[in-house]
């Protein structure tokens, strides 16, 4: 019921998958608006949600990874060799993208209290340039790469149902 079985993903896996898919959709809307409509009222309205949503996704991503490891022996078997590699890449970016932003945040030396929780106290003196530069270089770029991978992932689900005759969606859907 909560755990997966060989014919479908369990309730916890499905909750994490679809809950995070909704959060990712919202997160890419904030990122897209930041990119396409900078310095507008629309950006003003949505960009404030990017960091809290990102922190929530970071926590959920780590919990999901741990759950996937524990649940793995019970999960439906892959239909081909590429799918587990694709899912692994999704996990890698799901964790790396917010981690790079959090490292950049830490390196800036500014205090950081998402949801009022004092996560980073901040520090005096110069910023840690290695961390801020790394985040500046990679966070947004890898974020867009994650979006591309997600679109490919959705494309593969559709393709497997249409051309391959394999209803993978049934394994991730509530009944």
Residue 74 binds ligand HEM (CB under 6 A): no
- Comparing CA positions, the residue from 105, 30, 99, 31 lying closest to residue 65 is 99
CA-closest candidate to residue 101, choices 64, 137, 62, 67: 137
Q: Check binding of 90 to ligand HEM (CB under 6 A).
A: yes
Q: With binding defined as CB under 6 A, does residue 31 bind ligand HEM?
A: yes
* Distance separating alpha carbons of residues 107 and 91, to the nearest angstrom: 24
**Residue in 98, 103, 107, 109 binding ligand HEM, rule: CB under 6 A:** 98
The stretch near ligand HEM (CB under 6 A) out of 115-123, 125-133, 141-149 is 141-149
**Footprint (CB under 6 A) of ligand HEM, residues 8-27:** 13, 17, 20-21, 24, 27
CB of 43 to ligand HEM, least distance (A): 10
Nearest residue to 110 (alpha-carbon basis) of 84, 128, 92: 128
Kindly state whether residue 54 participates in binding ligand HEM, applying the rule CB under 6 A. Answer: yes
The verdict on 101 binding ligand HEM (CB under 6 A) reads yes
Q: CB-based contacts of 113: which residues, under 8 Å, 6+ apart?
A: 119, 120
* Number of C-beta neighbours around residue 121 at 10 A: 9
Is the separation of the CB atoms in 169 and 159 below 8 Å?
no
What string of DSSP letters covers 18-40? HHHHHHHHHHHHHHHHHHHSTTS
Q: Using the rule CB under 6 A, is 91 a contact of ligand HEM? A: yes
Q: Contact positions toward ligand HEM, by CB under 6 A?
A: 13, 17, 20-21, 24, 27, 31, 34-35, 50-51, 54-55, 57-58, 68, 76, 78, 83, 87, 90-91, 94, 97-98, 101-102, 105, 136, 139-140, 143-144, 146, 150, 153-154, 157, 168-169, 171-172
């Amino acid at each position: 019921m909560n755990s997966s079985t060989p014919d479908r993903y369990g309730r916890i896996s499905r909750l994490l998958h679809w809950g995070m898919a909704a959060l990712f959709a919202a997160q890419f809307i904030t990122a897209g608006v930041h990119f396409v409509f900078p310095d507008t009222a629309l950006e003003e309205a949505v960009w404030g949600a990017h960091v809290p949503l990102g922190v929530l996704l970071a926590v959920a991503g780590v919990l999901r990874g741990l759950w996937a490891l524990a649940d793995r022996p019970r999960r439906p078997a892959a239909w081909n060799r590429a799918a587990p590699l694709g899912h692994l890449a999704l996990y890698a970016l799901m964790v790396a993208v917010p981690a790079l932003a959090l490292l950049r945040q830490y390196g800036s030396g500014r205090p950081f209290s998402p949801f009022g929780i004092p996560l980073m106290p901040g520090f005096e003196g110069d910023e840690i340039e290695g961390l801020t530069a790394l985040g500046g270089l990679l966070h947004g770029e890898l974020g867009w790469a994650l979006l591309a991978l997600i679109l490919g992932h959705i494309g593969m689900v559709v393709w497997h149902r249409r051309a391959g005759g394999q209803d993978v969606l049934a394994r991730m859907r509530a009944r």
